Structure 1
Amino acid sequence: MRTRFSILALAVAIAAATPFSINAAEKKYGPGVSDTEIKIGQTMPYSGPASAYGTVGRLETAYFEMINAGGGVNGRKINLISLDDSYSPPKAVEQTRRLVEQDEVLAIVGQLGTLTSSAAQKYLNVKKVPQILITSGAAKWDDPKAFPYSTFLYSPYRLEGQIFAQYLLNNKPDARLGVFSQNDDAGRDYVRGLKDGLGDKASKLIVKELTYETTDSTIDSQIVTLKAAGVDTLFVMTTPKFGAQTIRKIAELGWKPLTYLSAVSTSLKTVLEPAGLDNSKGLITALAVKRPDDPRWENEKDVQDYKAFLKQWYPAGNMADSSNISGYMAAFVTVKILELCGNDLTRENLLKQATNLTDLAAPLLLPGITITTTPTRYTPFSQMQIARFDGTTWVPEGPLISANEP
């Protein structure tokens, strides 16, 4: 009897423990996660010299509100804590530490800006906190050996520089090229890619290189100097404020160089309209996304969904602002990664899913471009298309151009 009772008691104990064990195996939570919530954080330049990019954070907040209204992700609501960093590296570090140490977020998601994201990168990697889907194309985000916790979702700056180089060699091989860029990692990446693409022709084609600081009040003197150097083709890497200044000054001088404008400053709302649409006509750039205001895409479902989202959830968002497109894609991919995590919402699994995306068709990407990441290569895509501004919108010119970063 004693033996039979012991076996029965053991069976009862196992049966009672089994549901708990299964649930424990099914659900693994990191900081900021519960059965009802997933807490993530980011810093954004809601003020300061890059405040035009603040719309990215506002749109992402609205996108997650839409997702939450539909039940969230696997029954959990996304709680995005988005703090102002004023595009100041020290403030970005301060706010990031607050998000990690006080708010205890699961991850930093969609942080914007090379300077600010770089400032927080070492801290987050030491703490093993994922810093994913950074809105910046700096080469440093594709360095899984040194910084495995930092990934990005943007056209690589070096790639963009290479693609313009290919375009230039094919269409204007005798150019007198001027290079004007921001004096930081982003600017240097663009210029490095341009020179890599030009190869041994770089020293012959480039006749003048100048930079500016984000703290400068104006860039007029640099533009005057470039014109005086006999430049007939201009490669411009600026943030929106200085992009608009550059276009206006070129027009004031009556100068007509073939001008390439980096993708980060192609927004109609924050760059081209302030600079003057007539002044902007003829500019070229490289795109990876559809322009939702372009009639050629008006019947595409992803474009229609984007317009409907803005109308209902973010009416203050301008459809033609490329920053809003970046935010929309980042929010979409964030949700996909969280869905892939299932009930294993740990920092380790979040990073695993973010670095194992295969041919993800994100909304608003140009046909033929998908997102793929691997644990050894974080660059999300390596194709773009040259486009020219016709006074109203960016018009694609030619096929997609592929260029692999060196």
Structure 2
Amino acid sequence: MARMARLTTTAAAIALALSLGGVFAGDASAAEKKYGPGVTDTEIKIGNTSAYSGPASAYGTIGKTIDAYFKKINDEGGINGRKINFISYDDGYSPPKTVEQTRKLVESDEALLVFQGLGTPPNSAIHKYMNAKKVPQLFVATGATKWGDPEKFPWTMGWQPNYQSEGRIYAAYLLKNKPDAKIGILFQNDDYGKDYVKGLKDGLGDKAKSMIVAEYSYETSDPTIDSQVVNLKSSGADVFYNITTPKFAAQAIKKAGEIGWKPLQILNNVSNSPGAVLKPAGLEHAQGLLTAFYHKDPTDPQWKDDAAWKEWSAFMDKYYPDGDKSSTFTVFGYLAAQTMVHVLQQAGDDLTRENVMKQAASIKDLKLGMMLPGILLNTGPKDFFPIEQMQLARFKDSQWELFGEVISGEVGS
């Protein structure tokens, strides 16, 4: 009887051990690391193309800031122990070059993802390719509305407020404060420029036809936009809606000043950098300009005692000492890099392309210190626009001055 009891106890113990072994095996399997291309226990390859040369080279500092921030992260131990290998190529803002360099990143370098590729035309050239290859095209450095279409392009996501939203914000301001405005528009002849125009017209509604008196476009290959600015003055416009990249923005602001044209100037956010645009244009020509911000202007003295500004400034001093601390582009790159780091940290040990996209589409109330107070990043499976709020600012003396409330220009379906 005693022997039977011992046998029964032994059998039960063996069964329990086998059962627990199965549980432990399952736990080990669940915790197993999953890697996509470009990922090892020690490395994460991230690809990028930027305009370090060419007509949009003023934006090159964004890529340099990102590289510097990733070096900071690596010095602090990396992402869950893995160092970021940031591979950034110069595409000169030339779509054919972007295609060539992106293919190299995906097919030769085997990067896990492509991050912060610069510009609407360059990103448009690789849009279908990235989605066909199922490679994340994350947080592109352009606000074209097309980057927020998860149904048709589930592998591409924007980052900054989209251009149509920004255009709607300017329209709301004009309808309230200058309802009889005569608007002259200068825009880059591509999706970037056309999105801004559409946003303004949508925001103005039925009044768009009567308020807009002239529209002139330019190509990125044009040497100057002087003739367009002269024609806009001749149209009788008293509002200048300036939709240009930095080189042409500086030219347009300077030319308007030189010919004595003094309209209310609305300058798109992507070119509102005091260091990269307004100083070259001549600060005397920039007085009274209107724009919209979503992150802190590093030249605004109200942030000098701000903890986040001090942290950004210390980062610049240590990791990018040659960078222009008066340029909003360095703040842009810093914030975009922080967003990418957040997504990779959330991905944990599941660093597959699929999970990285899942995490990018699962950002909830992300607060970054150099964003304006009240602006949080949010995404969802059907919301690929992380930032959808802005605040208006007016240029006075040597800096932008924020005014009004943080407002949304969210684009409806």
Does the CA-based 8 Å contact 2:298-2:327 persist in structure 1? no
Instruction: Quote the Cα distance in structure 1 between the aligned partners of 2:369 and 2:140.
Output: 17
Q: Report the CA distance shift for 1:102/1:16 in structure 2 as closer, same or farther (over 3 A).
A: farther
The 3-state SS of whatever aligns with 2:390 is: strand
Letter of the aligned partner of 1:127 in structure 2? K
**Selected match of 1:201 from 203, 207, 232:** 207
CA offset digits 1:116-140 (Å, max 9, x no partner): 1111111010000000111110000
Query: CA offset at residue 363 of structure 1?
Result: 2.6
Match of 1:243 in 2: 249
Match of 1:352 in 2: 358
Unaligned 5+ segments in structure 1 are none
Query: CA offset at residue 111 of structure 1?
Result: 1.2
Does the CA-based 8 Å contact 1:135-1:326 persist in structure 2? no
**Selected match of 1:295 from 298, 301, 322:** 301
Larger CA Rg, structure 1 vs 2: 2
1:34 maps onto 2:40 in alignment: yes
**Selected match of 1:259 from 248, 254, 265:** 265
Query: CA offset at residue 19 of structure 1?
Result: 6.5
Match of 2:379 in 1: 373
Match of 1:55 in 2: 61
**Selected match of 1:46 from 43, 49, 52:** 52
Match of 2:147 in 1: 141
Letter of the aligned partner of 1:150 in structure 2? T
Match of 2:4 in 1: none
Instruction: Quote the Cα distance in structure 1 between the aligned partners of 2:183 and 2:202.
Output: 15
CA offset digits 1:55-74 (Å, max 9, x no partner): 11111111010000010011
Paired residue total: 403
Letter of the aligned partner of 1:153 in structure 2? W
Query: CA offset at residue 401 of structure 1?
Result: 2.1
Letter of the aligned partner of 1:303 in structure 2? W
When the two structures are superposed, what TM-score results if normalisation uses the length of structure 1?
0.95
Instruction: Quote the Cα distance in structure 2 between the aligned partners of 1:19 and 1:392.
Output: 64
Query: CA offset at residue 99 of structure 1?
Result: 0.4
Match of 2:229 in 1: 223
Aligned ranges 1:144-223 → 2 under 5 Å:
144-223=150-229
Instruction: Quote the Cα distance in structure 1 between the aligned partners of 2:395 and 2:79.
Output: 39
Letter of the aligned partner of 1:38 in structure 2? I
Instruction: Quote the Cα distance in structure 1 between the aligned partners of 2:39 and 2:53.
Output: 30
CA offset digits 1:303-353 (Å, max 9, x no partner): 111000000000111122111111101100111000000000000000000
CA offset digits 1:261-310 (Å, max 9, x no partner): 00111111211010001111111101111112211111211111100000
State the superposition RMSD in angstroms.
2.1
Match of 1:314 in 2: 320
Does the CA-based 8 Å contact 1:383-1:403 persist in structure 2? yes
Match of 2:406 in 1: 400
Match of 1:390 in 2: 396
**Selected match of 1:120 from 108, 123, 126:** 126
Q: Show structure 1 runs of 4+ deviating over 4 A.
A: 14-21
Does the CA-based 8 Å contact 2:175-2:204 persist in structure 1? yes
Query: CA offset at residue 359 of structure 1?
Result: 0.8
1:104 maps onto 2:97 in alignment: no
1:326 maps onto 2:327 in alignment: no
Query: CA offset at residue 93 of structure 1?
Result: 0.7
Letter of the aligned partner of 1:292 in structure 2? P
CA offset digits 1:81-113 (Å, max 9, x no partner): 001111000110110000000000100011111
Instruction: Quote the Cα distance in structure 2 between the aligned partners of 1:317 and 1:338.
Output: 26
Instruction: Quote the Cα distance in structure 2 between the aligned partners of 1:210 and 1:247.
Output: 15
Match of 2:89 in 1: 83
1:272 maps onto 2:262 in alignment: no
The 3-state SS of whatever aligns with 1:181 is: strand
What is the identity percentage for the equivalent residue pairs of Structure 1 and Structure 2?
52
Unaligned 5+ segments in structure 2 are 1-9
CA offset digits 1:150-188 (Å, max 9, x no partner): 001112100110000000011111111111110000000
Match of 2:3 in 1: none
Query: CA offset at residue 30 of structure 1?
Result: 0.5
Letter of the aligned partner of 1:246 in structure 2? A
Match of 2:74 in 1: 68
Residues 21-30 or 236-245, more deviating: 21-30
The 3-state SS of whatever aligns with 2:139 is: strand
CA offset digits 1:40-69 (Å, max 9, x no partner): 101011111111111111111110100000
